[in-house]
Structure 1
């Protein structure tokens, strides 16, 4: 349970980091921003997916 929470938290924060990084790099801003959105979506999706199976 703690390991899954740590995984969700790391993915969620990495997504926010990628969103912020997109504004500071000089190339591939759109790809980095899109990757950030996808990583955040993955974190939230995994959280909901694993929580629905435990109930």
Structure 2
């Protein structure tokens, strides 16, 4: 179970990094896409830090 949650959080983190990088190529929506990348990266880091330590097994 921990491995699946870790892989999902890793995918969310990498997607956030991709969003932050591709924000420069979206005319008119740069700030929104970059903010979405920051939020996705934050969620991707918050899952292992706050959720995985509470899962036993």
TM-score, normalised with respect to structure 1: 0.86
Cα distance in 2, alignment partners of residues 28 and 22 from structure 1: 7
Pairwise CA distance, 1:51 = 3.3
Runs of at least 5 residues in structure 1 that lack an aligned partner in the other structure? none
Relative contact order (C-alpha < 8 Å, sep 6+): which is higher?
2
Distance 2:27 2:51 in 1: 37
Q: Does residue 1:52 correspond to 2:53, yes or no? A: yes
Runs of 4 or more, structure 1, over 6 Å off, are: none
Gaps of at least 5 residues in structure 2 are none
Aligned residues: 55
TM-score by length of 2: 0.83
User: d(CA) in 2 for partners of 1:5 and 1:45?
Assistant: 11
1:27 is matched with 28
